[in-house]
Amino acid sequence: MSALRFVKPALAAVSLSLISFVAFMAFRIWPFGADVPLLQTPEWKDKHIGELYSGRLQLRRETQAGGALLLKRVDLQPVYRYDPQRKTLNAVTDKEWLNASGPIANCMDQLAKPGRVRIRVDHGTHKLLVAEREVSTAASLALSSLSSPTGNWVAVLSATGPTIPAFALLSGDRVLGRRYHEVKSVPDAVSAGKSIQIPVVDTITTLQLCWSADEKFVVYNDGSFSSVAVVETNLDSRNQ
């Protein structure tokens, strides 16, 4: 009778521990929350994906001095306008793009432009390599990186994981967990500011990065262009 007295509390403690563990893991794996909103782009979603000129995103500010950030796909209308104050995205006409005076950033060209030092993510190990030297990231699994237009910075996307392996060659492996954006200096790989959690569209598609020409924004979009996330870098490239 005296032993049974301890069974109930013990069971309760075990159950509580189990629930806490499950909750902890769920919270860790499931990408709850984000520091920036996920902004839908329904006019672009699933259109002409994978074609030669599709998916070529361009960014420009409304004026040389700043203003809203305009996002354009070279093969599609409309243009989207991101308001940095309200953190909202609205579809606008091509006219706004043509009337804008900020320099244009061609996102695909940023991909092809090698930086001063080689920066890459080894997709086998999910490590970030700067000049072939392993560099730690905000979350343990590095997903992608992109050098800024001046080459002074690199934006890095990483995930907390874990990964679920591909299924029978018919699907890609999935990287679960929260996504973090961070900016590091080049070539010393020192973090510039805090890492920012960005929303996850799904765990199969990989997010594409693009810098605005003035390096004030990094835009993330998913493979089917269903949505974007816009991160302000708070960098002053003139300081570099």
Partner 1 sequence: MRNTILTFAIFFVITTPVLAQKNQPCHRDGPLAGNCGFGPLSEVGPNPSLIAPLKPNDARFVENSGNGLDTGCTFRPGGPLVISLPVTRVVGANGNGSAISLQDMKDSGVLSKTAKLRLPAFDVDLEGAPGVPPELDFILFNGVQIGSLSGSNETWKMNEFEIPIELVHFATINPGGGAPTPGNNTITILIDQGSGSDVNWCTSIDWVELTFQTISPVILVHGNGQSGQFFVNTGFVSYLQFRGIPYDNSISLERRPIYFNAFVLDEQLPGIVQKFGVDSIHLVAHSKGGLDSRAYIQIFRVWHPEFKMLSLNTMGSPHDGTLLTDLQELRAEAATKVGRFGRIEYEGFPLFIRQMLAIAKPDDGLKDLTTKKVATFNSFNIPTLGNLFITTVGGDADVNGNARIDRFPDEYAGLRSFDPSLQVLDVVNPELGRHIIDSMYQVLRNTSSITMSCCRTTITGRRIAKITATPSSEPILNDTLVTIPSATGSQGGLFNVTVHSRAYTGAAGRNHANIADADVASQLVTWILEVERDRGDLKPQ
Distance CA 212, CA 118 (A): 21
| Closest to partner 1 by CB, 115 or 177 | 115
Binding residue (CB under 8 A) for partner 1 from 4, 7, 65, 112? 112
Q: Which residues pair with 106 in a beta bridge?
A: 58
Distance CA 49, CA 208 (A): 13
Residue type, 74: V
Least distance (Å) between residue 160 CB and partner 1: 18
As to burial, measured by CB atoms within 10 angstroms (0-12 exposed, 13-18 middle, 19+ buried), residue 157 is buried
Considering only residues 23 through 52, tell me which ones interact with partner 1, judged by CB under 8 A: 49-52
- Identify the residue among 36, 108, 176, 192 touching partner 1 (CB under 8 A): 108
Closest distance of CB 237 from partner 1, Å: 20
User: What residues between 171 and 210 interact with partner 1 by CB under 8 A?
Assistant: 171-173, 204-206, 208
Within its chain, how far is the Cα of 25 from the centroid? 22
Tell me 52's DSSP state.
T
94 touches partner 1 by CB under 8 A: no
Does 74 participate in binding partner 1 (rule CB under 8 A)?
no
Distance, in Å, from the CA atom of 152 to the CA atom of 4, rounded to the nearest integer, reads 67
CA distance 87 to 199: 14
Amino acid at residue number 20: S
Q: What angle do CA 75, 157, 106 make, to 5 degrees?
A: 30
Does position 125 bind partner 1 by CB under 8 A?
Answer: yes
As given in the structure block, the two tokens for residue 36 are: 């920036």
Total residues in contact with partner 1, by rule CB under 8 A: 37
Minimum distance, C-beta of residue 72 to partner 1, in the bound complex (Å): 17
Of the candidate residues 168, 188, 238, 239, the single one contacting partner 1 (CB under 8 A): 168
Supply the minimum distance, in Å, between the C-beta of residue 162 and partner 1: 12
In the complex, which residues of this chain contact partner 1 (CB under 8 A)? 49-52, 55, 108-109, 111-114, 117-118, 120-125, 131-132, 144, 165-173, 204-206, 208, 223-224
